[in-house]
Amino acid sequence: MRFTGLSAFPLTPLADDRIDEDAFTAGVRRLAAAGVDSITALGSTGSYAYLDREERARAARLAVENAGDVPVVVGVGALRTSHVLAHVEDAQRAGASGLLVAPLTYQALTDDDVYGLFDDVTRNSSVPVIVYDNPRTTHFTFTTELYARIAGLPGIASIKIPGVPTGPAEARAHVEGVRAVLPEHVTIGVSGDAFAAEGLIAGCEAWYSVVGGTLPEVALRVTRAVRDGDPEAARAESERLAPLWGLFAELGGSQRVIAAVAEHLGFARRSSLPRPILGLDDAQRSSVARVVDDLGLAEGL
């Protein structure tokens, strides 16, 4: 399949150190009902690195079973290639429409290590593969040259790039530079929610979205504005959400904040993240709740 539009990355909420299956399946159903273009379970927002094989296989099955006709991508990253391939097998058995692969590591990886990982995955996958470039969490930085090398492997369908430069001209030049080295069938997806509108306007075909996994209607307003040829409406919606993007930057990243949003809205129980991640303290949660309420993010849910 061709990965375009909004791919929503839901949380995998926990309760009593186990996947809260009711909360997770309800979240997947909300995304499907909202009309997202794909659902990516077990991304970084979905805490995949903290879950064991059985938990991840179960989450993959639940996502596919509750997504209706919406394609489900499953994150399969792990420290060892043999473990990655076990997750690949489980995701395919669950009915995943695609795989999201991040080069997780403890020891520093070389470009050849990472290329070898994607070579192994594509040799063992019958569904498309998305390259997950997330240097903040993986501590590995892709080069444009490595994008090109990996994109030449059969089965690579999309590259999830980090946030683009904020200036429109700089953003377009960056995206065009990546596009120039990729085969036409490999899409470019932007991540980093604050940069999504500019990335889509600059030519990215997809938005791999944290906020879209909990508040899909908010993210869809951005993607649909770009699709409909109204970049200024997309920019305006992103600018309206600046207080939320500010919390992502201020409070240790998007996962803690979006978990607090989900808990505030009753989509997950308190302390839904895997320990040792404690989530936000009470004062920080109050700031999140105030932004959610002031922006009217619960409207229409």
pLDDT at 36: 98
The pLDDT confidence band at residue 172, using thresholds 50, 70 and 90, is very high
Q: Which secondary-structure segment (H or E) carries 200?
A: helix 196-201
Return the closest-CA partner of residue 109 out of 148, 82, 81. 81
pLDDT at 301: 60
pLDDT at 299 over 90: no
Return the closest-CA partner of residue 259 out of 233, 237, 292, 232. 292
163 burial type by CB count under 10 A (0-12 exposed, 13-18 middle, 19+ buried): middle
Are the CB atoms for 212 and 218 separated by under 8 Å?
yes
**High-pLDDT (> 70) share of the chain, %:** 99
- The 3-state DSSP class for residue 163 equals coil
pTM assigned to the model? 0.96
pLDDT at 226 over 90: yes
Region for residue 225 given its phi and psi (left: phi exceeds 0; alpha: psi -120 to 50; beta: otherwise): alpha
